[in-house]
Structure 1
């Protein structure tokens, strides 16, 4: 189970960095949900892919993502919770210019017909709760 779930996070990083959102979409069940770091809610893999295509064709077209190893909590033989940190490096295409952001993703992965995929994911940006200023983790 752990090896298959680790493949999800490895592919998350690889597909982001290749800007291959069709491949990115294959990480999700057809009826999956995704909440991005700005609280945009997408239901279904088509919306998830379309939303990510829009940002990868524009502000994140020159971005890269590093995904840290996931903290995996099995629920049963066919479900697990993953928490994983990412460091986004935005490039010159971003309106704010080159910068980095750390986010924590909570994903629920389930196995259907032998395939592990993400059923639900939510991405939050690390920020100071008193000021809202984005923070970076000590690496």
Structure 2
């Protein structure tokens, strides 16, 4: 990636192709990832290992749509990117077709002019009173 803002479209594209090698290439070798259930993994190999099986099964017919919220370069060559992510899953998912929204925080760093993700956290939007997942329009 030439600019940190590209993370939004590149993650979406890799997900929608179900190409976990392309997905992993967006991360630094030592990146951390926290999924929407709070599972923490460290290193690009673990990030790919966490995502590959779900893309072969329950998310095999899923699509992702990302929408930028903001990008802030906090120091030279380090940026924080926030974006909305809407995941639509199909019949491959045990719960059947449904849609969920998450808020993503990604920390990116530039090394030799190439931006990669150093840390990413994905939080599912939920109703604080019931714990049920909600969509952004329900906020």
Write out the 4+ residue segments of structure 1 that deviate beyond 3 Å after TM superposition: none
**TM-score normalised to the size of structure 1?**
0.95
Structure 1 residue 70: Cα displacement: 3.9
Structure 2 residue ranges without an equivalent (≥5): none
Structure 1 residue 50: Cα displacement: 1.0
Q: Does structure 2 retain, via aligned residues, the 8 Å contact 1:6–1:70? A: no
- Pairing 1:116-127 to 2, within 5 Å after superposition: 116-127=115-126
Q: Does structure 2 retain, via aligned residues, the 8 Å contact 1:89–1:99? A: yes
Q: Does structure 2 retain, via aligned residues, the 8 Å contact 1:111–1:117? A: yes
| C-alpha separation in 2, matches of 1:31 and 1:44 | 4
Structure 1 residue 114: Cα displacement: 1.6
CA RMSD of aligned residues (A): 1.5
- Give the structure 2 partner of residue 53 of structure 1: 52
Number of positions where the alignment pairs a residue of Structure 1 with one of Structure 2: 138
Q: Does structure 2 retain, via aligned residues, the 8 Å contact 1:61–1:93? A: yes
Structure 1 residue ranges without an equivalent (≥5): none
